[in-house]
Amino acid sequence: MHDSPFVDSNLWLYAFVLRPGEEAKHARALALVETTTRYVISTQVISEVAANLLKKAGMEEKSLLAVIEGLYRRCQVVQTDLECHRTASRLRSEHSFSFWDSLIVAAALEANCRRLYSEDMQHGQVVDHRLTIMNPLLAETI
């Protein structure tokens, strides 16, 4: 296991896009991703971030490609492969995760992360006795 946390797509989106009413979330997410920590993400995270930046934020293609290239440079990127899908299937059965969340958790487990930063899942939940889900947007986790 290593200390590099896995970061879910929602946190990257809060950091990249400032929306009215989400100023505090934006600031916390930005502070998180601007550290020198080498985070772990999956190809799914990159795809979700890219799709949302195009569709919801109206980002231009040239800027989007720069964001994608930056994520690949900055983060350890793990592939969403068959083993990841098998693990995700088990997690859905055991924990009732959604399809997409189960893939995120599975990728974090396969990358041997001890922490998964996400706003979407249960803060403090421990999966497989080794991965703790944390919501860094909560005041007490910063």
Tell me the whole-structure pTM to 2 decimals: 0.93
CA distances (Å), origin 62, targets 3, 67, 110, 132: 33, 9, 32, 36
Question: Residue 30: pLDDT above 80?
Answer: yes
Measure the CA–CA gap between 40 and 116, rounded to whole angstroms.
Answer: 9
Question: Residue 3: pLDDT above 90?
Answer: no
Domains and their CATH numbers in the chain: 6-141 (3.40.50.1010)
Question: Residue 104: pLDDT above 70?
Answer: yes
Mean pLDDT along residues 116-124:
95
